[in-house]
Amino acid sequence: MDQPLNSGSSDPLASAPLNGAGEGVGERVCRSQAPARGLEGWSSRKDRRKVGYRIGAVFGAVFLVVFSWGDDGQVLAKGPANPGHEALECADCHDPAEGTVRQQVQAAVAFGLGLRETPPAVGRLPVSNRVCMDCHERKADLHPTHEFTEPKYFEERKEIAADQCITCHKEHSGRHVANTGQFCSTCHSDLGAIDKPIQPTHPELVAGERWDTCMRCHDYHGNHVREAPRTLGEAFDGRTVLRHLDSGAPLYGEKREPASGERTR
């Protein structure tokens, strides 16, 4: 897929309050913090200016969304497809939002004026985990996203929002994984109890903060037919792992549950 024409203007929608999803890794889609507020509250000048900004932002966003998704959908694509996704259509991931464009625009304006509590989705829905799992259903995922929505992972989510696919797989980035695979530290800094016979031992690796070694032996989703090696000598070398995370070049071998090319639900 080609670079989009206007990719120079980083992200035309980044400032739009539309989906309430923003760029924050810790946020779940479809949630908004907007307080309920009636028209009567807009008295001070600051308030009026705020309404002005909101209306402006809403209009800007509505304009961009409504007028930029051509049939070929290319105009606004944010960047190159991620490895493996080159052949997908835009609509494979971007579902249309509920309602007609006019309904969406009216709801957006109502939100701008404080007559509605939550901003509507305009044009397309945010891409949720569910969309990804329609093609990537891994019944035995070692780290299933939904488990990390539990309230007790509050602190961990602030460091790495493991409850969202797109935290690690930023789409339109041309990369397989958007980080260096050392985020294991967030949840596994207490491996003292593990007495698996590996060399060096897990407690030694943790004590030495060798978070660069984990993915040399382990995959994250456990979706490959393989056993973790017992020594670093038998493990992949660090650079090979980094290359895999960047380009998606095959590394861990045969998959247990391969992707489907079509949404299954």
Partner 1 sequence: MFLRALTLLGLSALCIYLFVTAPPPLPEEGKAGAGTTIPMEQAFAVLAAENDEARRLWTQEIVGAGKKVGLSFDEDWEREEVEAGPLPALFLKETARQMQRMSTDLTFFLGSDAPIKEANRFEGQQALEFAEIRATGEPQFFEDTEHQDQVAMFPDVASAAACVSCHNDHVDSPRDDWTLHEVMGATTWTYPAKAVSLEELLQLTEIYRASTRGAYERYLEMAASFEDPPVIGDQWPRDGERVLPSADAFMEAVDRAVSSATVLKLFDLARADR
In the complex, the residues that contact partner 1 under the rule CB under 8 A are 26, 28, 30-31, 33, 98-100, 102-107, 109-110, 116-118, 120, 129-130, 133, 137, 139-140, 144-147, 149-152, 154-155, 157, 193, 265
Q: Does 66 bind ligand HEC (CB under 6 A)?
A: no
CB of 38 to ligand HEC, least distance (A): 29
Q: Which of 109, 228, 238, 243 binds ligand HEC (CB under 6 A)?
A: 228
DSSP 208-249: TT-TTSHHHH--SS--BS----SBTTTSPPHHHHHHHHHH--
Could you tell me which stretch among 40-48, 72-80, 101-109, 111-119 binds ligand HEC (CB under 6 A)? 72-80
Q: Does 27 bind ligand HEC (CB under 6 A)?
A: no
Radius of gyration of the chain (CA): 22
Secondary structure (H, E, C), 158-219: HHCCCCCHHHHCCCCCCCCCCCCCCCCHHHHCCCCCCCCCCECCHHHHHHCCCCCCHHHHCC
SS3 86: coil
Q: Residue 124 phi/psi, 5° resolution?
A: -125, 155
Give the number of other Cβ atoms within 10 Å of residue 113's Cβ.
16
Residue span 140-179 as binding mask against ligand HEC, x where in contact by CB under 6 A, dash where not:
--xx-x--x-------x---x-x-xxxxxx-xx---xx--
The residue among 113 and 156 lying less far from ligand HEC, judged by its C-beta, is 156
Q: Does 243 bind ligand HEC (CB under 6 A)?
A: no
Residues 6+ apart with CB under 8 A from 243: 249
CB of 202 to partner 1, least distance (A): 14
CB 111 within 8 A of CB 37: no
Q: Give the pair of three-digit tokens for residue 186.
A: 């967030």
Q: Which of 54, 85, 97, 107 binds ligand HEC (CB under 6 A)?
A: 85
CB of 122 to partner 1, least distance (A): 10
Q: Does 139 bind ligand HEC (CB under 6 A)?
A: no
Closest CA relative to residue 165, chosen from 85, 109, 99: 85
109 binds, among partner 1, ligand HEC, none (CB under 5 to 8 A by kind): partner 1
CB of 137 to partner 1, least distance (A): 7
